[in-house]
Structure 1
């Protein structure tokens, strides 16, 4: 993974008001931790940082220029505004070239499984140890043509050289099951609701249908009596 060069500034203002002013200038408040040093509060350029995180994913590697001082850092936590979808704050971990770090890497499922199957992602990430500058962006799991009953475990991942799996090798990642019909799903839901003691109020439409059925039955009975 190539490090994205980012020019950072030391931040001297704190609090919500200062953070709002920083964001109005299309910049992002950030903190970098690690290596036993005191946390360093930074301001990052908004667009460049957003693009670096977009390219690098959850483990984006940033080559920070902090007022002329170089510092490699991994993204640890990215806070995003849920409405405007803009980055509000970034936590970073200081790293060194050649240093090994523990990270979670996403699983991407690719391909089309066999007809009438359902592909379920049981675990979307695995934990690995890798050099800070060689962290995989993701791992691909192919389900192309997979039949119902196919199970893919963490041990089956192809790991690049120097990357060690830390998750349980028996961690289930993908489960290919037989697709259920709507009737089977409705039956399962009804059985589960019965077991839980859930009762649904009769809708106006169902009540009308019931009244109509009772009326038809009464009319039929009267006809038989004649």
Structure 2
């Protein structure tokens, strides 16, 4: 499991106007849930948030250092939601959720394929289900649930129930859901025989 650290600052000013001012200064408004009866409002450096998402994504633990105010301290968190402006491609808001390391949580992790280069046939491997819901301790969250497709042939299907999770991880997704399929490759459409024969007749005759 990948873990990274991120330092944020407690923010006192709330509201849309304050949020816009934060973004103009390179900070992203955020909220940390699960640390107590009240959520903590924070300001997150945009570049550091981007770096953290590149490393941890939304599936791995983050060591969050909250600086300033009476709610400062360190918390193990998951990034639960990131809002982005679809036009400007800028971060608008981020939600963190603090977790207790000794209590199991439910989260989702991506599905990763391995063994594609070792496959013997030319069937097309399609990843149907890209995320799996799991339950485990925060320290046991895997980076992904891996599916070995090296031995699959055309027509094979892998369901959730056939997956093998790492130790300490329970899969919660419906075991009947399809994860991977292997289909036959498309063959190039052949030209109708009549057209080929007609072209041969036109090109084969000499001048009269």
Do both proteins adopt the same fold according to a TM-score greater than 0.5, normalized to the shorter chain?
yes
Greater C-alpha Rg: 1
Q: Which of 157, 168, 174 pairs up with 1:151?
A: 157
Paired with 1:163 and 1:148, the residues of 2 have a C-alpha distance of 30
- Deviation sequence 1:81-104 (CA, Å, 0-9, x none): 334433321111111222211001
Alignment of 1:88-103 (within 5 A): 88-103=92-107
- Equivalent of residue 82 in structure 1, options 79, 86, 89: 86
Alignment of 1:5-24 (within 5 A): 5-24=5-24
Matches within 5 A, 1:74-223: 74-110=78-114, 111-112=116-117, 113-144=119-150, 146-181=152-187, 183=189
Does 2:71 align with 1:65? no
Aligned residue pairs total 184
Q: What residue is the counterpart of 1:204 in the other structure?
A: none
Q: Which runs of 5+ in 1 are unaligned?
A: 185-226
> What is the TM-score normalised by the length of structure 1?
0.72
* Counterpart Cα distance in 1 of 2:19 and 2:35: 26
> Could you say what secondary structure the match of 2:20 adopts?
helix
Give 1:44-55 correspondences, 5 Å limit. 44-55=44-55
The CA deviation at 1:52 is 1.4
Uncovered stretches (5+) of structure 2, i.e. residues with no partner: 191-208
Q: Any idea what SS the aligned residue of 1:133 has?
A: helix
Confirm whether residue 28 of structure 1 aligns to residue 28 of structure 2.
yes
Distance in 2 between residues matched to 1:100 and 1:168, nearest whole Å: 19
* TM-score normalised according to structure 2 size: 0.78
Secondary structure, counterpart of 1:162 in structure 2: coil
Once superposed, what is the RMSD of the aligned Cα atoms?
2.2
Question: Hey, what's the Cα distance between the residues in 2 that align with 1:84 and 1:148?
Answer: 43
In 1, distance between residues paired with 2:74 and 2:58?
A: 22
Matched-pair contact (CA < 8 Å) for 1:59–1:137: yes
Once the 2 structures are TM-superposed, how far is the Cα of residue 59 of structure 1 from its aligned partner?
Answer: 1.6
Moved over 6 A (4+): none
SS of residue in 1 equivalent to 2:140: coil
Contact 1:97–1:131 at 8 Å: present in 2 too?
yes
Higher helix share: 1
